[in-house]
Chains A and B, each alone.
Chain A
């Protein structure tokens, strides 16, 4: 997933993902595999008005972004969708830093280079 925007005043993952999607990813990186129902139960603890539809839509959106993948699992409870992570949190963060620095280097090369050198010192 390539981040398309970076919110300077947002914290952590919320800088590159909408708040609820960031929370879903935080949980998914913890458990690696989960159903939308399990994610809903987890998020509901902090969001009392949350609905199953919202979680389902956002998880499928995360699939479209390439951060999750969906597969059909047939078990005792019948068929259901399970979602799994496609990348580790570390790889995701690495990719964000690379994308942002690449963008800065191609748009503001000298200023970025000067600033990076200053930090290095």
Chain B
């Protein structure tokens, strides 16, 4: 769906701006690719260190095993110097922050790593930057069309397409997160590792916000934060993910029992 929206936006630009619209689209696309490559190349210079087998054999071996199961080559594992628990993947690499090692057990860290391998296997490390940078392309084309086409219809359609892109982008990211979770369940020896990790990370985030928001420096770990709903959030909530994981595990167990 997203590619059709982008295609329609490009067509509007070409139809109403002619050759100039085509050059702008091509030029901006090339510029965005260069910016992406530059950012991914330079963002790894500080605060990251590449994990060696002898540093954490349990993690290295488990990632190798899960990558084999996923049918991908062994990813690079980077450790990020950040006390906030965080994990993400890019190209054929996964990044785990030091904060994760402080709050999660080894099994739970493997759950997080499996989710990131799921992203790599599903091609999200290529798709996500394209969709994220596609947003800038869309925004730029809306601006160019609005400023230079002088056609109310073109401006209107261009704006509608941008809004559609934003809605579809949010849905796309959410779907891919669920899919990465689903993939992770098949990669893990113990599928509940991912659920346990998400529960702990949810607890961490809730507690951190409670501590931050509290006027007094005390904490009340049992206070549950009310979920702030935002329709533009690209990540599904922990609760949604945990629920889906439980449903998936139940479904697999049921199917196994029926066999």
Chain A interfacial positions (CB closer than 8 Å to B)? 4-5, 17-21, 35-37, 51-54, 56-58, 60-61, 70, 72, 74, 77-81
- Interface pairs A-B: 5 shortest CB-CB: A78-B55, A53-B204, A78-B56, A18-B218, A56-B102
Query: How does the 8 Å CB contact mask read for B60-99 relative to A, with 1 for contact and 0 for none?
Result: 0000000000000000000101010000000000000011
Given known A53-B204, A78-B79, contact A20–B55 (CB-CB < 8 A): no
Among A18, A72, A79, which residue has its beta carbon within 8 angstroms of that of B219?
A18
Please measure, in the bound complex, the distance between the C-alpha atom of A5 and the C-alpha atom of B217, giving whole angstroms: 9
B99: chain A residues at CB < 8 Å are 56
Closest to A61 in B: B211
Most A C-beta atoms less than 10 A away, residue of B59, B101, B208 = B101
B83 vs chain A, min Cβ distance (A): 5
A72: chain B residues at CB < 8 Å are 81, 98
Q: Across the interface, do B81 and A56 meet the contact criterion of CB distance under 8 Å? A: no
Within 8 A of A (CB), among B196-241: 200, 203-204, 207-208, 211, 216-219, 221
Closest to B206 in A: A53
Q: Across the interface, do B219 and A54 meet the contact criterion of CB distance under 8 Å? A: yes
Chain B, interface size category, equals 20 to 34
Q: How many A-B residue pairs have CB under 8 A?
A: 70
Given known A53-B203, A53-B204, contact A79–B217 (CB-CB < 8 A): no
Closest to A60 in B: B83
Q: Does B40 contact A (CB under 8 A)?
A: no
Among B51, B218, B219, B221, which residue has its beta carbon within 8 angstroms of that of A78?
B51
A45 vs chain B, min Cβ distance (A): 17
Please measure, in the bound complex, the distance between the C-alpha atom of A19 and the C-alpha atom of B55, giving whole angstroms: 36
Q: Across the interface, do A52 and B219 meet the contact criterion of CB distance under 8 Å? A: no
Q: Does B103 contact A (CB under 8 A)?
A: yes
Please measure, in the bound complex, the distance between the C-alpha atom of A61 and the C-alpha atom of B207, giving whole angstroms: 12
Q: Across the interface, do A58 and B219 meet the contact criterion of CB distance under 8 Å? A: yes
Closest to A19 in B: B218
Q: Across the interface, do B83 and A56 meet the contact criterion of CB distance under 8 Å? A: yes
Please measure, in the bound complex, the distance between the C-alpha atom of A53 and the C-alpha atom of B101, giving whole angstroms: 10
Please measure, in the bound complex, the distance between the C-alpha atom of A70 and the C-alpha atom of B82, giving whole angstroms: 11
Q: Across the interface, do A74 and B221 meet the contact criterion of CB distance under 8 Å? A: no
A5: chain B residues at CB < 8 Å are 216-217
A-B contact pairs, 15 of them (CB 8 A): A5-B217, A17-B217, A21-B217, A51-B103, A51-B200, A51-B221, A53-B203, A53-B207, A54-B221, A56-B103, A57-B207, A60-B83, A61-B217, A78-B51, A78-B79
Q: Does B104 contact A (CB under 8 A)?
A: yes
Among B79, B101, B208, which residue has its beta carbon within 8 angstroms of that of A57?
B208
B203: chain A residues at CB < 8 Å are 51, 53
B221: chain A residues at CB < 8 Å are 51, 54
A77: chain B residues at CB < 8 Å are 55-56
